[in-house]
Amino acid sequence: MNLPDYETVSTRMADEHVLLVTLNRPQVGNAVNTQMGRDLLDLWNRLTEDAGPVRCVVLTGAGERIFCGGGDLKERNGMSRETWQRQHELFERMYWTLVDLPLPVVAAVNGHAYAGGLEMALSCDFIYASREARFALTEVTLGIMPGAGGTQNLPRAVGERRAKEILMTGRPFDAAQALEWGLANALHDPGEVLPAALATAGAIAANAPLSVRQIKKSVRYGGQMELRTAFRFEIEAYNHLVDTDDRREGVLAFNEKRKPVFKGR
C-alpha cells in the first residue's frame, strides 16, 4: 500500500493484510505534537477512504519503554489559548477518526501509556501490553482533564467507579492492574508484545474482512442502544453479509474441507 512518508509516524506492511503503525518520536516518549496529530489524522482518513489490502492495523510506539507519553507539553508551554484550542481540535478529529476507523486496530502497548497516550490505546479495539507498562490519565494534575475520550472510553473498559478513581487521582497503575480491571486483554514480556499483537492481527486478517468490519460496527454502535434496538441493528449488519461472495466462499470451503480464500466482496 502506498502511504506518504510521515514525519512522526512510520508505517509498513507486516504481512499481506496487516499494517503496522509506529508512533516515531522516541526521543520525547512518542509524545503527540501538532505534526503527529496531522500525520495520524491523514493516515486514519486515508485508511477510512480506501484501505487497499489492509484488513487489520497494529498501533505501537518506537522504543521499548514508552508507548506514548501523551501530549507534547514542551510544545504546549507558552501556547496562547487560541493556539492550544486549535491544536486540540486537530487532536479531537484525529482521535475520533481512529475510533470510527472501519478496520480493527490492535494497540501493542510496548511501554508506558500516559494521558493522551492511554486515550489513544483506549481508542483502539483492544490492547496487548508489556508486563512492565504503566498507565495513567494525569490531566487532573496539570489543571485540565482528559479531552480525547478518556472520560468516556475508560469507564466503558473498567467500570464507572474504578474510572472515577483513576481520573480524579491521576495516579499511575501497573500492567497487572490493567489486566485485572479489563483495560488490557493480555500481558506479554517486553519484546513479545508486538509479535503477539501481530499474530492476533494476522488471525483477524485471515477472516472474512466484511464480517470483521460489520462486527466492529455492531459492537461499537449497538453498545450505545437499548438491547432490543441493538439486536435489530445486529441483524441489519448480519443481513448485509448474506449475499456476499465471501459468505458463499466460506460455506463452500467448509464443505470442501479447505481453508477459505476471502476477497472482501
Catalytic residue among 139, 165, 192, 236: 139
Closest of 84, 86, 146 to residue 121, by C-alpha:
146
Q: Does 119 participate in catalysis according to the annotation?
A: yes
Distance, in Å, from the CA atom of 158 to the CA atom of 172, rounded to the nearest integer, reads 15
Catalytic residue among 49, 64, 82, 119: 119
Distance, in Å, from the CA atom of 46 to the CA atom of 103, rounded to the nearest integer, reads 12
Torsional class of 111: left (φ above 0), alpha (ψ -120 to 50), beta (otherwise)? beta
Helices (H) and strands (E) in the chain, counts: 11, 10
Closest of 89, 157, 158, 90 to residue 125, by C-alpha:
157
How are the residues of the chain apportioned to helix, strand and coil, as percentages rounded to the nearest 5?
A: 50, 15, 35
Could you give the residue numbers annotated as active site?
A: 119, 139
